[in-house]
Amino acid sequence: MTKEASDMSATAAPAAATAPPKKLPPYKLTSRITHPEDSRIRLGEYEIGGPEFVVMAGPCSVEHDPQMLGTAWDVKVSGAHIIRGGAFKPRSSPYSFQGLAEEGLKMLSKARELTGLAIVTEVMDSTDIDLVESYADILQVGARNSQNFSLLKRLSKARKPVLLKRGLMNTIEEFLCSAEYLLAGGNDRVILCERGIRTFETATRNTLDLSAVLAIKERSHLPVIVDPSHASGRAHYVAPLSRAALAVGADGLMIEVHCSPETALCDGEESLTPQDFRALMGSLQELAPHFGRKISTLKPGAASENPPDSVAASMAAAASAAE
């Protein structure tokens, strides 16, 4: 080798080092490292996690047929994709309304028959999973049960999608580890829900962590929706927070709507009236295309403004009894 060649060899740039593999987090199946593409949960004609901005709406608690059927019809004609309603209610006080259990599930089933929309409702206990699953289209795990690992393990064997709410004081990693219990057991149809966390602030019921939507989507492939009703505890905060959730990249919303919030047995102060919900849906439909989304349920003339005669009669009877 000549001296010039020797000098060139000595000064040649070293070969590029191979990048070390990314370390897997404790939520391996939930991680975007192992599943780079966004997951989409199909429910009927819609997908949660795709371009459609999916809205779940209805009362916090199922109270009686006229309330449930009337509210279900109202949210349907306003453009909601899915009906929400609680039949089993975890309450801080043992003296508060705890829900109607199976009777409430039957009312939800009637609402699905009336509207054609899927229903989402909470399951609180492992012993109730089979019962709730026989009625519901999506099984909800509330914030208080987000780290109830025995419940999550049992739900991982369920045939239905699971909507998992973030716990009151969960970190993002803890939240995703809870989701991992579901995926690890075999149920990969999981929807995450940011519903506010507990902080020192008392002006709102909880503190809505919209940055969590970004943090979760950076780390996980699972769809994320936002619940501005429970986050704020104030009905007049729900619309602006809903629009903010759309802007930040959430895949949908869960909103409390009640036909008569002032008489609601649970969370009336954070429930929208049907009229306010309709106005919100209109503004969301206008904004959605600016953020690469759509709300295709709002189609003029697709549904009558008036409920069927049987529902209208039931609602009128209930109103008369209330007077």
Which residues of the chain register pLDDT less than 50?
301-303, 322
Provide CB contacts within 8 A for 261, sequence distance 6+. 235, 268, 269, 271, 272, 273
Single pTM value for the model: 0.89
Q: Name the architecture of domain 26-299.
A: Alpha-Beta Barrel (3.20)
- Please report the pLDDT score of residue 179 as a whole number: 98
Question: Do strands 46-48 and 41-43 pair parallel, antiparallel, or not at all (unpaired)?
Answer: antiparallel
3-state DSSP call for residue 180? helix
Give the pLDDT of residue 303. 47
Residue 322 has a pLDDT of: 47
The residue behind tokens 């369920």 is: 158
Q: What is the pLDDT of residues 244-262, one digit of tens each?
A: 999 999 999 999 999 999 9
pLDDT at residue number 2:
56
pLDDT at 91: 76
Q: Express each pLDDT in 259-302 by its tens digit.
A: 999 999 998 999 999 999 999 999 999 999 999 999 998 765 44
| Model pLDDT, residue 16 | 55
What is the predicted pLDDT for the residue at 211?
Answer: 98
The domain limits of the chain are 26-299
pLDDT at residue 7 in the model: 54
Q: Mind giving me the DSSP string for 218-284? A: HHB-S-EEE-HHHHH--HHHHHHHHHHHHHHT-SEEEEEB-SSGGG-SS-GGGPBPHHHHHHHHHHH
